[in-house]
Structure 1
Protein backbone atom coordinates (compact mmCIF):
# COMPACT_ATOMS: atom_id res chain seq x y z
CA UNK A 1 0.00 0.00 0.00
CA UNK A 2 1.30 3.48 -0.85
CA UNK A 3 2.26 5.35 2.27
CA UNK A 4 0.41 8.58 3.03
CA UNK A 5 3.72 10.46 3.03
CA UNK A 6 4.60 9.20 -0.45
CA UNK A 7 1.22 10.27 -1.85
CA UNK A 8 1.53 13.67 -0.19
CA UNK A 9 5.03 14.07 -1.62
CA UNK A 10 3.69 13.39 -5.10
CA UNK A 11 0.98 16.01 -4.65
CA UNK A 12 2.95 18.70 -2.80
CA UNK A 13 6.25 18.53 -4.66
CA UNK A 14 4.90 20.32 -7.79
CA UNK A 15 3.90 23.24 -5.53
CA UNK A 16 7.39 23.45 -4.04
CA UNK A 17 9.18 23.07 -7.37
CA UNK A 18 8.04 26.47 -8.68
CA UNK A 19 10.63 27.96 -6.30
CA UNK A 20 13.40 26.31 -8.30
CA UNK A 21 11.90 25.83 -11.76
CA UNK A 22 9.87 28.98 -12.52
CA UNK A 23 11.33 32.42 -13.24
CA UNK A 24 9.58 34.60 -10.69
CA UNK A 25 11.56 33.54 -7.61
CA UNK A 26 14.87 34.19 -9.33
CA UNK A 27 13.60 37.54 -10.59
CA UNK A 28 12.58 38.61 -7.08
CA UNK A 29 15.95 37.58 -5.66
CA UNK A 30 17.82 39.33 -8.47
CA UNK A 31 15.78 42.49 -7.89
CA UNK A 32 16.81 42.32 -4.26
CA UNK A 33 20.46 42.41 -5.32
CA UNK A 34 21.61 38.80 -5.55
CA UNK A 35 23.94 38.63 -8.57
CA UNK A 36 23.31 34.99 -9.53
CA UNK A 37 20.93 32.07 -9.03
CA UNK A 38 23.03 30.26 -6.43
CA UNK A 39 23.57 33.29 -4.21
CA UNK A 40 19.80 33.71 -4.12
CA UNK A 41 19.21 30.00 -3.58
CA UNK A 42 21.54 29.64 -0.62
CA UNK A 43 20.59 32.99 0.92
CA UNK A 44 16.84 32.39 0.75
CA UNK A 45 16.66 28.69 1.56
CA UNK A 46 19.06 28.92 4.49
CA UNK A 47 17.54 32.18 5.77
CA UNK A 48 15.34 30.55 8.48
CA UNK A 49 18.51 29.17 10.08
CA UNK A 50 19.75 32.69 10.79
CA UNK A 51 23.27 33.96 10.11
CA UNK A 52 24.98 30.62 10.58
CA UNK A 53 28.41 29.78 9.12
CA UNK A 54 28.75 28.05 5.75
CA UNK A 55 29.68 24.83 7.54
CA UNK A 56 26.25 24.69 9.16
CA UNK A 57 24.46 25.33 5.87
CA UNK A 58 26.58 22.64 4.22
CA UNK A 59 25.64 20.17 6.96
CA UNK A 60 21.93 21.05 6.82
CA UNK A 61 21.68 20.93 3.01
CA UNK A 62 23.84 17.76 2.93
CA UNK A 63 23.98 17.07 -0.80
CA UNK A 64 26.26 19.87 -2.01
CA UNK A 65 29.92 19.19 -2.66
CA UNK A 66 32.45 20.49 -0.09
CA UNK A 67 33.04 24.20 -0.52
CA UNK A 68 29.90 24.95 -2.53
CA UNK A 69 27.99 26.52 0.37
CA UNK A 70 31.06 28.59 1.30
CA UNK A 71 31.05 30.24 -2.12
CA UNK A 72 27.73 31.88 -1.23
CA UNK A 73 27.43 31.95 2.58
CA UNK A 74 27.90 34.31 4.38
CA UNK A 75 28.65 36.56 1.36
CA UNK A 76 25.03 36.46 0.20
CA UNK A 77 23.90 37.91 3.54
CA UNK A 78 26.43 40.73 3.83
CA UNK A 79 24.22 43.38 2.19
CA UNK A 80 20.85 41.63 2.12
CA UNK A 81 19.37 40.42 5.44
CA UNK A 82 18.32 36.74 5.43
CA UNK A 83 14.69 37.59 6.18
CA UNK A 84 14.49 39.81 3.08
CA UNK A 85 15.80 36.99 0.91
CA UNK A 86 13.23 34.61 2.35
CA UNK A 87 10.42 37.12 1.76
CA UNK A 88 11.54 37.48 -1.88
CA UNK A 89 11.53 33.69 -2.19
CA UNK A 90 7.93 33.57 -1.00
CA UNK A 91 6.80 36.44 -3.24
CA UNK A 92 8.33 34.90 -6.33
CA UNK A 93 7.08 31.40 -5.58
CA UNK A 94 3.52 32.54 -4.95
CA UNK A 95 3.57 34.68 -8.10
CA UNK A 96 4.59 31.59 -10.07
CA UNK A 97 1.80 29.55 -8.53
CA UNK A 98 -0.74 32.27 -9.29
CA UNK A 99 0.37 32.49 -12.92
CA UNK A 100 0.46 28.73 -13.54
CA UNK A 101 -2.71 27.85 -11.66
CA UNK A 102 -4.73 30.67 -13.20
CA UNK A 103 -8.36 30.34 -12.17
CA UNK A 104 -7.48 27.51 -9.78
CA UNK A 105 -5.45 29.93 -7.64
CA UNK A 106 -8.69 31.38 -6.26
CA UNK A 107 -10.57 28.10 -6.04
CA UNK A 108 -11.94 26.64 -2.80
CA UNK A 109 -9.43 23.80 -3.24
CA UNK A 110 -6.57 26.18 -2.40
CA UNK A 111 -8.20 27.26 0.87
CA UNK A 112 -8.96 23.66 1.86
CA UNK A 113 -5.44 22.47 0.97
CA UNK A 114 -3.87 25.43 2.78
CA UNK A 115 -5.77 24.72 6.00
CA UNK A 116 -5.04 21.00 6.05
CA UNK A 117 -1.38 21.21 5.02
CA UNK A 118 -0.87 23.92 7.63
CA UNK A 119 -2.35 21.67 10.30
CA UNK A 120 -0.01 18.89 9.22
CA UNK A 121 3.04 21.12 8.86
CA UNK A 122 2.69 22.56 12.37
CA UNK A 123 2.10 19.23 14.10
CA UNK A 124 5.41 17.34 13.88
CA UNK A 125 8.32 17.25 16.28
CA UNK A 126 11.30 19.42 15.34
CA UNK A 127 13.81 17.15 17.08
CA UNK A 128 16.56 16.21 14.65
CA UNK A 129 14.89 18.25 11.87
CA UNK A 130 17.16 21.25 11.32
CA UNK A 131 15.65 22.71 8.15
CA UNK A 132 12.11 22.01 9.27
CA UNK A 133 12.79 23.56 12.68
CA UNK A 134 14.11 26.69 10.98
CA UNK A 135 10.93 27.06 8.94
CA UNK A 136 8.79 26.55 12.04
CA UNK A 137 10.20 29.86 13.34
CA UNK A 138 8.90 31.77 10.29
CA UNK A 139 5.39 33.26 10.75
CA UNK A 140 2.72 31.44 8.78
CA UNK A 141 1.34 33.62 5.94
CA UNK A 142 -2.31 34.60 6.01
CA UNK A 143 -3.32 34.40 2.34
CA UNK A 144 -4.35 30.85 1.36
CA UNK A 145 -2.02 30.49 -1.64
CA UNK A 146 0.93 31.85 0.35
CA UNK A 147 0.04 29.55 3.23
CA UNK A 148 -0.19 26.55 0.92
CA UNK A 149 3.27 27.24 -0.54
CA UNK A 150 4.76 27.82 2.92
CA UNK A 151 3.24 24.73 4.53
CA UNK A 152 4.14 22.57 1.51
CA UNK A 153 7.72 23.83 1.79
CA UNK A 154 7.77 23.03 5.50
CA UNK A 155 6.63 19.49 4.76
CA UNK A 156 9.24 19.20 2.01
CA UNK A 157 12.03 20.23 4.38
CA UNK A 158 10.66 17.88 7.05
CA UNK A 159 10.87 15.04 4.55
CA UNK A 160 14.32 16.20 3.48
CA UNK A 161 15.61 16.12 7.04
CA UNK A 162 14.38 12.54 7.34
CA UNK A 163 15.95 11.64 4.00
CA UNK A 164 19.29 12.92 5.27
CA UNK A 165 18.92 10.76 8.38
CA UNK A 166 18.26 7.74 6.15
CA UNK A 167 21.31 8.54 4.01
CA UNK A 168 23.57 9.02 7.03
CA UNK A 169 22.38 5.71 8.46
CA UNK A 170 23.17 4.00 5.17
CA UNK A 171 26.60 5.72 4.97
CA UNK A 172 25.67 7.41 1.70
CA UNK A 173 27.17 10.86 1.26
CA UNK A 174 25.65 13.81 -0.57
CA UNK A 175 27.29 13.23 -3.95
CA UNK A 176 26.70 9.48 -3.65
CA UNK A 177 23.02 10.21 -3.00
CA UNK A 178 22.83 12.05 -6.33
CA UNK A 179 24.35 9.05 -8.09
CA UNK A 180 21.73 6.74 -6.58
CA UNK A 181 18.92 9.16 -7.44
CA UNK A 182 20.15 9.57 -11.01
CA UNK A 183 20.24 5.83 -11.63
CA UNK A 184 16.84 5.34 -9.99
CA UNK A 185 15.42 7.94 -12.41
CA UNK A 186 17.02 6.24 -15.39
CA UNK A 187 19.82 8.77 -15.90
CA UNK A 188 22.91 7.02 -17.28
CA UNK A 189 25.75 7.56 -16.92
CA UNK A 190 25.03 8.92 -13.47
CA UNK A 191 27.91 11.38 -13.81
CA UNK A 192 25.84 13.27 -16.40
CA UNK A 193 23.14 14.10 -13.82
CA UNK A 194 22.56 17.84 -13.61
CA UNK A 195 23.26 18.10 -9.90
CA UNK A 196 26.78 16.63 -10.17
CA UNK A 197 27.96 16.84 -13.78
CA UNK A 198 29.83 20.08 -13.04
CA UNK A 199 32.01 18.50 -10.32
CA UNK A 200 35.68 17.77 -11.06
CA UNK A 201 36.05 14.50 -12.98
CA UNK A 202 38.58 13.25 -10.43
CA UNK A 203 36.11 13.73 -7.60
CA UNK A 204 33.28 12.05 -9.50
CA UNK A 205 35.54 9.13 -10.39
CA UNK A 206 36.44 8.68 -6.73
CA UNK A 207 32.76 8.64 -5.74
CA UNK A 208 31.92 6.07 -8.41
CA UNK A 209 34.91 3.93 -7.46
CA UNK A 210 33.84 4.00 -3.81
CA UNK A 211 30.34 2.82 -4.71
CA UNK A 212 31.82 0.02 -6.82
CA UNK A 213 34.00 -1.08 -3.92
CA UNK A 214 30.90 -1.28 -1.72
CA UNK A 215 29.15 -3.42 -4.32
CA UNK A 216 26.54 -0.73 -5.00
CA UNK A 217 27.54 -0.26 -8.66
CA UNK A 218 28.89 -2.67 -11.24
CA UNK A 219 31.87 -2.09 -13.51
CA UNK A 220 29.70 -0.12 -15.96
CA UNK A 221 28.37 2.21 -13.28
CA UNK A 222 24.90 0.68 -13.05
CA UNK A 223 23.08 -0.65 -9.99
CA UNK A 224 23.95 -4.07 -8.70
CA UNK A 225 21.18 -5.96 -6.91
CA UNK A 226 22.76 -4.79 -3.67
CA UNK A 227 22.78 -1.20 -4.87
CA UNK A 228 19.17 -1.17 -5.99
CA UNK A 229 18.12 -2.72 -2.70
CA UNK A 230 20.06 -0.01 -0.83
CA UNK A 231 18.37 2.75 -2.81
CA UNK A 232 14.94 1.24 -2.19
CA UNK A 233 15.60 0.89 1.56
CA UNK A 234 16.59 4.54 1.77
CA UNK A 235 13.40 5.63 0.00
CA UNK A 236 11.26 3.36 2.18
CA UNK A 237 12.79 4.75 5.36
CA UNK A 238 12.40 8.29 4.04
CA UNK A 239 8.68 7.63 3.59
CA UNK A 240 8.42 6.15 7.07
CA UNK A 241 10.13 9.15 8.64
CA UNK A 242 7.87 11.55 6.73
CA UNK A 243 4.62 10.09 8.07
CA UNK A 244 4.39 11.97 11.38
CA UNK A 245 2.93 15.30 10.18
CA UNK A 246 -0.01 13.57 8.51
CA UNK A 247 -0.95 11.58 11.61
CA UNK A 248 -2.76 14.65 12.95
CA UNK A 249 -5.27 14.44 10.07
CA UNK A 250 -8.25 12.09 10.14
CA UNK A 251 -8.88 9.68 7.28
CA UNK A 252 -11.64 12.00 6.09
CA UNK A 253 -9.34 15.01 6.16
CA UNK A 254 -6.65 13.11 4.25
CA UNK A 255 -9.19 12.22 1.57
CA UNK A 256 -10.31 15.86 1.48
CA UNK A 257 -6.71 17.01 1.14
CA UNK A 258 -5.96 14.61 -1.71
CA UNK A 259 -9.12 15.72 -3.52
CA UNK A 260 -8.16 19.39 -3.12
CA UNK A 261 -4.55 18.92 -4.19
CA UNK A 262 -5.07 16.70 -7.23
CA UNK A 263 -6.25 19.40 -9.68
CA UNK A 264 -3.57 21.82 -8.45
CA UNK A 265 -0.79 19.25 -8.81
CA UNK A 266 -2.08 18.20 -12.24
CA UNK A 267 -1.98 21.79 -13.53
CA UNK A 268 1.53 22.30 -12.16
CA UNK A 269 2.84 18.99 -13.51
CA UNK A 270 1.50 19.84 -16.95
CA UNK A 271 3.83 22.85 -17.06
CA UNK A 272 6.75 21.26 -15.21
CA UNK A 273 6.10 23.81 -12.42
CA UNK A 274 7.50 26.49 -14.74
Structure 2
Protein backbone atom coordinates (compact mmCIF):
# COMPACT_ATOMS: atom_id res chain seq x y z
CA UNK A 1 0.00 0.00 0.00
CA UNK A 2 1.13 3.53 -0.67
CA UNK A 3 1.32 5.90 2.27
CA UNK A 4 -1.61 7.97 1.06
CA UNK A 5 -4.22 8.27 -1.64
CA UNK A 6 -5.46 11.42 -3.29
CA UNK A 7 -9.07 12.54 -3.16
CA UNK A 8 -10.72 14.24 -6.14
CA UNK A 9 -10.29 17.53 -4.31
CA UNK A 10 -6.56 16.92 -4.22
CA UNK A 11 -6.23 16.36 -0.48
CA UNK A 12 -4.28 13.25 0.47
CA UNK A 13 -5.94 10.67 2.68
CA UNK A 14 -3.70 9.57 5.55
CA UNK A 15 -2.78 5.87 5.67
CA UNK A 16 -5.74 3.68 6.72
CA UNK A 17 -8.02 6.72 7.13
CA UNK A 18 -10.79 4.98 5.22
CA UNK A 19 -10.44 1.86 7.35
CA UNK A 20 -10.64 3.85 10.58
CA UNK A 21 -13.72 5.67 9.34
CA UNK A 22 -15.35 2.42 8.29
CA UNK A 23 -14.60 0.81 11.64
CA UNK A 24 -16.43 3.44 13.69
CA UNK A 25 -19.40 3.51 11.32
CA UNK A 26 -19.61 -0.27 11.18
CA UNK A 27 -19.46 -0.54 14.94
CA UNK A 28 -22.61 1.54 15.34
CA UNK A 29 -24.28 -0.31 12.49
CA UNK A 30 -23.56 -3.63 14.24
CA UNK A 31 -25.22 -2.71 17.53
CA UNK A 32 -28.62 -3.89 16.31
CA UNK A 33 -27.34 -7.45 15.81
CA UNK A 34 -26.88 -7.68 19.59
CA UNK A 35 -29.94 -5.66 20.53
CA UNK A 36 -33.02 -7.19 22.15
CA UNK A 37 -35.06 -4.79 20.04
CA UNK A 38 -34.36 -6.81 16.88
CA UNK A 39 -35.63 -10.03 18.42
CA UNK A 40 -38.66 -8.21 19.83
CA UNK A 41 -39.63 -6.82 16.44
CA UNK A 42 -39.42 -10.22 14.73
CA UNK A 43 -41.07 -12.09 17.58
CA UNK A 44 -44.51 -11.08 16.32
CA UNK A 45 -43.80 -13.06 13.15
CA UNK A 46 -42.78 -16.14 15.11
CA UNK A 47 -39.07 -15.64 14.33
CA UNK A 48 -37.34 -16.26 17.64
CA UNK A 49 -34.13 -18.22 17.03
CA UNK A 50 -31.18 -15.76 17.19
CA UNK A 51 -29.75 -17.09 13.91
CA UNK A 52 -33.09 -16.77 12.15
CA UNK A 53 -33.38 -13.20 13.41
CA UNK A 54 -29.92 -12.43 12.05
CA UNK A 55 -30.59 -13.94 8.64
CA UNK A 56 -33.95 -12.19 8.34
CA UNK A 57 -32.44 -8.82 9.20
CA UNK A 58 -29.40 -8.87 6.95
CA UNK A 59 -30.64 -10.95 4.02
CA UNK A 60 -34.02 -9.24 3.63
CA UNK A 61 -32.64 -6.70 1.15
CA UNK A 62 -31.87 -9.53 -1.28
CA UNK A 63 -35.45 -10.81 -1.33
CA UNK A 64 -36.62 -14.37 -0.51
CA UNK A 65 -33.27 -15.97 -1.29
CA UNK A 66 -32.25 -19.51 -0.40
CA UNK A 67 -29.49 -20.78 1.87
CA UNK A 68 -26.92 -20.92 -0.92
CA UNK A 69 -27.15 -17.21 -1.62
CA UNK A 70 -27.01 -16.33 2.08
CA UNK A 71 -24.05 -18.63 2.75
CA UNK A 72 -22.20 -17.31 -0.30
CA UNK A 73 -22.66 -13.64 0.52
CA UNK A 74 -22.26 -13.91 4.29
CA UNK A 75 -19.25 -16.19 3.58
CA UNK A 76 -18.13 -17.28 7.06
CA UNK A 77 -21.37 -19.00 8.09
CA UNK A 78 -21.67 -22.77 7.86
CA UNK A 79 -24.05 -23.66 5.03
CA UNK A 80 -25.99 -26.23 7.07
CA UNK A 81 -26.47 -23.65 9.82
CA UNK A 82 -27.96 -21.24 7.30
CA UNK A 83 -30.13 -23.94 5.71
CA UNK A 84 -31.70 -24.72 9.08
CA UNK A 85 -33.37 -21.29 8.97
CA UNK A 86 -33.42 -20.18 5.33
CA UNK A 87 -35.70 -20.17 3.35
CA UNK A 88 -38.07 -21.17 6.20
CA UNK A 89 -37.75 -17.68 7.68
CA UNK A 90 -39.49 -16.21 4.61
CA UNK A 91 -42.57 -18.29 5.36
CA UNK A 92 -42.86 -16.44 8.66
CA UNK A 93 -42.14 -12.93 7.40
CA UNK A 94 -41.69 -11.57 3.92
CA UNK A 95 -38.40 -9.79 3.20
CA UNK A 96 -40.34 -6.52 3.13
CA UNK A 97 -41.77 -7.20 6.59
CA UNK A 98 -38.35 -8.21 7.91
CA UNK A 99 -36.75 -5.08 6.45
CA UNK A 100 -39.37 -2.84 8.04
CA UNK A 101 -38.92 -4.64 11.36
CA UNK A 102 -35.17 -4.11 11.10
CA UNK A 103 -35.57 -0.36 10.67
CA UNK A 104 -37.97 -0.14 13.62
CA UNK A 105 -35.51 -2.08 15.76
CA UNK A 106 -32.63 0.17 14.72
CA UNK A 107 -34.68 3.24 15.59
CA UNK A 108 -35.44 1.90 19.07
CA UNK A 109 -31.87 0.71 19.63
CA UNK A 110 -30.20 3.96 18.60
CA UNK A 111 -32.57 6.05 20.70
CA UNK A 112 -31.84 3.84 23.71
CA UNK A 113 -28.05 3.74 23.23
CA UNK A 114 -27.47 7.33 22.14
CA UNK A 115 -30.28 9.21 23.84
CA UNK A 116 -32.88 11.46 22.26
CA UNK A 117 -30.68 14.55 22.38
CA UNK A 118 -27.84 13.02 20.37
CA UNK A 119 -30.24 11.33 17.93
CA UNK A 120 -31.83 14.71 17.16
CA UNK A 121 -28.56 16.69 17.21
CA UNK A 122 -27.05 18.76 14.39
CA UNK A 123 -24.03 16.45 14.61
CA UNK A 124 -26.19 13.46 13.67
CA UNK A 125 -27.61 15.30 10.67
CA UNK A 126 -24.10 16.33 9.64
CA UNK A 127 -22.81 12.78 9.95
CA UNK A 128 -25.70 11.46 7.89
CA UNK A 129 -24.92 13.91 5.12
CA UNK A 130 -21.23 13.03 5.09
CA UNK A 131 -21.82 9.27 5.14
CA UNK A 132 -24.39 9.46 2.35
CA UNK A 133 -21.97 11.54 0.28
CA UNK A 134 -19.33 8.83 0.68
CA UNK A 135 -21.75 6.19 -0.59
CA UNK A 136 -22.11 8.09 -3.88
CA UNK A 137 -18.81 6.52 -4.99
CA UNK A 138 -19.68 2.93 -4.08
CA UNK A 139 -20.03 0.51 -6.99
CA UNK A 140 -22.48 -2.35 -7.45
CA UNK A 141 -20.28 -4.57 -9.60
CA UNK A 142 -19.47 -7.92 -7.91
CA UNK A 143 -20.85 -6.57 -4.61
CA UNK A 144 -24.17 -8.38 -4.09
CA UNK A 145 -24.92 -7.42 -0.50
CA UNK A 146 -24.06 -3.78 -1.12
CA UNK A 147 -26.07 -3.73 -4.35
CA UNK A 148 -29.15 -5.16 -2.64
CA UNK A 149 -29.03 -2.61 0.17
CA UNK A 150 -28.30 0.23 -2.25
CA UNK A 151 -31.72 -0.40 -3.83
CA UNK A 152 -33.46 0.41 -0.54
CA UNK A 153 -34.75 3.96 0.05
CA UNK A 154 -32.84 6.30 2.33
CA UNK A 155 -34.81 6.85 5.55
CA UNK A 156 -35.92 10.41 6.29
CA UNK A 157 -34.81 10.59 9.94
CA UNK A 158 -31.12 11.64 10.15
CA UNK A 159 -30.11 8.89 12.61
CA UNK A 160 -31.68 6.24 10.38
CA UNK A 161 -30.15 7.81 7.27
CA UNK A 162 -26.77 7.67 9.01
CA UNK A 163 -27.31 4.03 9.91
CA UNK A 164 -28.43 3.25 6.35
CA UNK A 165 -25.29 4.88 4.93
CA UNK A 166 -23.15 2.99 7.44
CA UNK A 167 -24.83 -0.21 6.27
CA UNK A 168 -24.01 0.56 2.63
CA UNK A 169 -20.38 1.31 3.48
CA UNK A 170 -20.16 -1.84 5.61
CA UNK A 171 -21.54 -4.13 2.92
CA UNK A 172 -19.46 -2.45 0.20
CA UNK A 173 -16.28 -3.14 2.13
CA UNK A 174 -17.48 -6.59 3.15
CA UNK A 175 -18.16 -7.70 -0.41
CA UNK A 176 -14.66 -6.64 -1.39
CA UNK A 177 -13.22 -8.36 1.66
CA UNK A 178 -14.79 -11.66 0.60
CA UNK A 179 -13.01 -11.39 -2.76
CA UNK A 180 -9.72 -10.86 -0.95
CA UNK A 181 -10.32 -13.88 1.32
CA UNK A 182 -10.97 -16.02 -1.75
CA UNK A 183 -7.74 -14.81 -3.32
CA UNK A 184 -5.92 -15.66 -0.06
CA UNK A 185 -7.46 -19.17 -0.23
CA UNK A 186 -9.08 -18.89 3.18
CA UNK A 187 -12.45 -20.58 3.52
CA UNK A 188 -15.06 -19.21 5.89
CA UNK A 189 -13.96 -20.94 9.07
CA UNK A 190 -10.25 -20.42 8.28
CA UNK A 191 -10.93 -16.72 7.82
CA UNK A 192 -12.60 -16.63 11.22
CA UNK A 193 -9.85 -18.62 12.96
CA UNK A 194 -7.06 -16.48 11.53
CA UNK A 195 -8.93 -13.29 12.42
CA UNK A 196 -9.53 -14.53 15.97
CA UNK A 197 -5.79 -15.21 16.23
CA UNK A 198 -5.17 -11.47 15.71
CA UNK A 199 -7.09 -10.78 18.92
CA UNK A 200 -9.57 -8.58 17.04
CA UNK A 201 -12.07 -11.24 15.96
CA UNK A 202 -14.84 -13.01 17.82
CA UNK A 203 -14.00 -15.60 20.42
CA UNK A 204 -14.57 -19.24 19.37
CA UNK A 205 -17.57 -19.34 21.70
CA UNK A 206 -19.29 -16.58 19.75
CA UNK A 207 -18.21 -18.06 16.42
CA UNK A 208 -19.83 -21.38 17.30
CA UNK A 209 -23.02 -19.70 18.50
CA UNK A 210 -23.45 -17.27 15.62
CA UNK A 211 -21.74 -18.92 12.62
CA UNK A 212 -22.68 -22.55 13.21
CA UNK A 213 -19.22 -24.13 13.30
CA UNK A 214 -18.26 -26.56 16.07
CA UNK A 215 -15.07 -27.27 17.97
CA UNK A 216 -14.03 -30.13 15.70
CA UNK A 217 -14.41 -28.00 12.59
CA UNK A 218 -12.58 -25.11 14.25
CA UNK A 219 -9.70 -27.38 15.26
CA UNK A 220 -9.49 -28.76 11.72
CA UNK A 221 -9.29 -25.24 10.34
CA UNK A 222 -6.53 -24.39 12.80
CA UNK A 223 -4.61 -27.46 11.64
CA UNK A 224 -4.96 -26.40 8.01
CA UNK A 225 -3.63 -22.96 8.91
CA UNK A 226 -0.72 -24.57 10.74
CA UNK A 227 -0.03 -26.68 7.67
CA UNK A 228 0.29 -23.48 5.64
CA UNK A 229 2.66 -22.00 8.21
CA UNK A 230 0.15 -19.31 9.23
CA UNK A 231 -0.37 -20.45 12.85
CA UNK A 232 2.15 -21.93 15.26
CA UNK A 233 1.71 -24.82 17.67
CA UNK A 234 0.03 -22.55 20.22
CA UNK A 235 -2.48 -21.25 17.72
CA UNK A 236 -0.77 -17.87 17.46
CA UNK A 237 -0.11 -16.16 14.15
CA UNK A 238 3.32 -16.82 12.72
CA UNK A 239 5.22 -14.06 10.96
CA UNK A 240 3.73 -15.32 7.69
CA UNK A 241 0.25 -15.43 9.21
CA UNK A 242 0.49 -11.89 10.54
CA UNK A 243 1.74 -10.72 7.15
CA UNK A 244 -1.18 -12.42 5.40
CA UNK A 245 -3.75 -10.83 7.68
CA UNK A 246 -2.07 -7.46 7.18
CA UNK A 247 -2.08 -7.93 3.41
CA UNK A 248 -5.76 -8.93 3.49
CA UNK A 249 -6.73 -5.72 5.26
CA UNK A 250 -4.58 -3.56 3.01
CA UNK A 251 -6.02 -5.12 -0.15
CA UNK A 252 -9.50 -4.67 1.28
CA UNK A 253 -8.61 -1.02 1.86
CA UNK A 254 -7.54 -0.70 -1.77
CA UNK A 255 -10.78 -2.17 -3.10
CA UNK A 256 -12.78 0.04 -0.71
CA UNK A 257 -10.95 3.32 -1.29
CA UNK A 258 -13.46 4.98 -3.64
CA UNK A 259 -16.06 6.25 -1.13
CA UNK A 260 -13.43 7.76 1.15
CA UNK A 261 -11.48 9.35 -1.69
CA UNK A 262 -14.79 10.79 -2.89
CA UNK A 263 -15.48 12.27 0.54
CA UNK A 264 -11.96 13.70 0.80
CA UNK A 265 -9.55 13.93 3.71
CA UNK A 266 -11.43 16.62 5.65
CA UNK A 267 -14.76 14.87 5.22
CA UNK A 268 -13.31 11.51 6.28
CA UNK A 269 -11.70 13.08 9.33
CA UNK A 270 -14.92 14.77 10.37
CA UNK A 271 -17.05 11.67 9.75
CA UNK A 272 -14.61 9.60 11.81
CA UNK A 273 -14.76 12.17 14.61
CA UNK A 274 -18.55 12.14 14.68
CA UNK A 275 -18.71 8.36 14.38
CA UNK A 276 -16.30 8.01 17.29
CA UNK A 277 -18.60 10.18 19.40
CA UNK A 278 -21.63 8.04 18.55
CA UNK A 279 -20.05 4.64 19.08
CA UNK A 280 -18.34 5.83 22.27
CA UNK A 281 -21.72 6.78 23.67
CA UNK A 282 -23.21 3.45 22.56
CA UNK A 283 -20.38 1.48 24.14
CA UNK A 284 -20.88 3.24 27.45
CA UNK A 285 -24.53 2.21 27.25
CA UNK A 286 -23.51 -1.47 26.93
CA UNK A 287 -24.06 -1.96 23.20
CA UNK A 288 -22.05 -5.23 22.95
CA UNK A 289 -21.46 -8.31 25.12
CA UNK A 290 -18.31 -8.00 27.23
CA UNK A 291 -16.89 -11.33 26.03
CA UNK A 292 -17.47 -10.84 22.30
CA UNK A 293 -13.91 -10.25 21.05
CA UNK A 294 -10.59 -11.91 21.81
CA UNK A 295 -8.84 -15.26 21.48
CA UNK A 296 -10.35 -17.12 24.42
State the TM-score, normalized to the length of structure 2.
0.86
- In 1, Cα distance between equivalents of 2:203 and 2:16: 31
Q: Is the 8 A contact 1:216 1:224 kept in 2?
A: yes
Written as runs of structure 1 = structure 2, the 5 A alignment for 1:183-198 is 183-185=197-199, 192-196=204-208
Further displaced range: 235-244 or 139-148: 235-244
1:54 counterpart = 2:42: no
Q: Which runs of 5+ in 1 are unaligned?
A: none
* Structure 2 counterparts to residues 84-163 of structure 1, below 5 A: 84-102=97-115, 103-163=117-177
Q: 5+ residue gaps in structure 2?
A: 1-13, 289-296
What is the CA-CA distance between 1:138 and the residue it aligns to?
0.9
From 271, 280, 283, give the equivalent of 1:257.
Answer: 271
Report what 2:294 is aligned to. Answer: none
Match of 1:237, SS? helix
| From 20, 23, 26, the counterpart of 2:39 | 26
Query: For residues 81-113 of structure 1, what are the alpha-carbon distances to aligned partners after superposition, in whole Å with 9 as ceiling and x for unaligned?
Result: 011101111111121111111121111011011
Equivalent residue, structure 2, for 1:9: 22
Q: Secondary structure at the match of 1:2?
A: coil
Task: Work out the CA distance in 2 between the residues paired with 1:272 and 1:142.
Answer: 27
Distance 1:173 1:140 in 2: 34
Distance 1:19 1:191 in 2: 19
Between the two proteins, the alignment pairs up a number of residues equal to: 272
Q: CA 1:252–1:64 in 2, change beyond 3 Å: closer, same or farther? A: same
Kindly report which structure 2 residues correspond to 1:151-230, keeping only aligned pairs within 5 A, or say none: 151-185=165-199, 192-196=204-208, 199-230=213-244
2:90 to 77, 83, 91: 77
8 A contact 1:14–1:268 mirrored in 2? no
Report the Cα distance in structure 1 between the residues aligned to 2:16 and 2:153, rounded to whole angstroms. 29
Deviation at 1:134, TM superposition (A): 0.6
Seen in structure 2, the aligned counterparts of structure 1 residues 259 and 217 have a Cα distance that, compared at 3 Å, is: closer
Taking structure 1 as the reference length, what is the TM-score of the superposition?
Answer: 0.92
The 3 A distance-change label for structure 1 pair 148 and 191 is closer
Distance 1:186 1:125 in 2: 28
Runs of 4+, deviation exceeding 6 Å: none
How far does the alpha carbon of each residue in 1:183-221 deviate from its partner, in whole angstroms, 9 at most, with x for none? 11178xx98342137633332232121111111111222
**Does the 8 Å CA contact 2:208/2:214 hold for their aligned counterparts?**
no
Q: Any conservation in 2 of the 1:63–1:177 contact (CA below 8 Å)?
A: yes
Tell whether the 8 Å contact from 2:34 to 2:287 is kept in structure 1 after alignment.
yes
